Amino acid sequence: MATQQKASGTSWVRKMIVAGALSAVSIALFLTPFGYIPWFAGASLTVMHVPAIIGGVLEGPVVGGVIGAIFGITSLIKAATAPQGPIDVFFTNPLVSVIPRILVGIAGWLIATLLRGLNRQLGYLAAGAVGSLTNSVLVLGALVLLQAIPLQLAASVFVANSLVEAVAAAILTAGVVSAWKGIEHGRSRSRLADEA
């Protein structure tokens, strides 16, 4: 009983640490140019939703949702206080800026969980891709519903940017999660050796 309570407390602390660290990364990506990858014709690809996906895969839907919410709230605040274009006003609506980002980490967790028994690496790749596509589809869909952009433009952005962002998110998620799991595995083996 005491051992279970200790493990539960350790798990909660770990979730808080991971959520805090990845939220800080998400905010840093948002406030600096590092959240964008230059793309053709002056466009850019974003990887700012990737910390939420990684958080979801590593620590579950609550952590992924919290990190996504922080990313969404910073997006909303920036749109409200420092808009850079006519479309930014729509990002003051939580339906566009916050709700999709909360669901990004949850979608990543769900896919990784569903594929865990089949192939963990495939699960990490799929989690990154599906989490990224969740962000794209929901944000673009909300903008279309609010008549901020026409459906044809949303479809063009999806084809030109979102599919490539999904590939980038898949690679980044798989790389970071695999490295994290490798470090954890090494620590566990070291702890067992010390106890022996």
Structural domain contains residue 49: yes
Query: Could you give the percent of the chain with pLDDT greater than 70?
Result: 85
Confidence category of residue 101, pLDDT binned at 50, 70, 90:
very high
Whole-structure pTM value: 0.85
Q: What is the pLDDT of residue 11?
A: 83
Structural domain contains residue 26: yes
Q: How far is CA 193 from CA 183, 188, 189, in A?
A: 15, 9, 6
Q: What average pLDDT score do residues 32-40 get?
A: 73
Structural domain contains residue 9: no
Structural domain contains residue 2: no
Structural domain contains residue 176: yes
Structural domain contains residue 119: yes
Contact (CB, 8 A) for 15 and 59: yes
Which range, of 60-74, 77-91, 132-146, averages the lowest pLDDT?
77-91
Q: What is the pLDDT of residue 192?
A: 43
Structural domain contains residue 111: yes
- Work out how many domains the chain is built from and give that number: 1
Tokens 């967790």 belong to residue: 109
Range of the domain at 30: 20-195
Q: Is the pLDDT of residue 167 over 50?
A: yes
Q: What average pLDDT score do residues 16-41 get?
A: 80
Structural domain contains residue 4: no
Q: Is the pLDDT of residue 19 over 90?
A: no
Q: Is the pLDDT of residue 2 over 70?
A: no
Q: What is the CATH number of the domain that holds 150?
A: 1.10.1760.20
